[in-house]
Amino acid sequence: MKKSGILNRHLSGALARLGHTDLVVVCDAGLPIPEGPAVVDLAFRAGVPSFAEVLAGLLDELEVEGAVAAREVQAANPECGALLADRLPGLELVPHEELKALTGRARLVVRTGEARPYANVVLRCGVPF
């Protein structure tokens, strides 16, 4: 049994299959998820697990070379906007509709229980060398 890192076997396995430039969406409980990407749904109850918890765990395990979030997060959910800006230097902000379109190109979507608006980000996988 793993003793550290992400213990959820579905999520851990999905992360192991990712490669350079693959897109991973970390989303709140309300983001529409199109057919196509693999989905690991971690949502249990409203707010559990939080977007911040899941993002922190993923950033510990993934090499990220870029990230995109909805511009609307700044006004509608400033706490999340600040978290994203702090954790993801070079964060690109786009209209929410554009972010939803990017979700269809993702290889993996990780759904959280987050119940605050616009707590969504698209991560572009990098390489550690």
Active site residue: 5, 9, 17, 20, which one? 20
67, 120 Cβ separation under 8 angstroms = no
Torsion sign (Cα): 90, 126, 42, 108: positive
Active site residue 96: no
Residue 28: count of CB within 10 angstroms of its CB: 21
Per the listing, tokens 């199109």 go with 34
Q: Measure the CA–CA gap between 47 and 51, rounded to whole angstroms.
A: 8
Q: If we measure between CA atoms, which residue out of 81, 117, 85, 121 comes closest to residue 100?
A: 121
Residue 63 forms beta bridges with which residues? Answer: none
Active site residues: 20
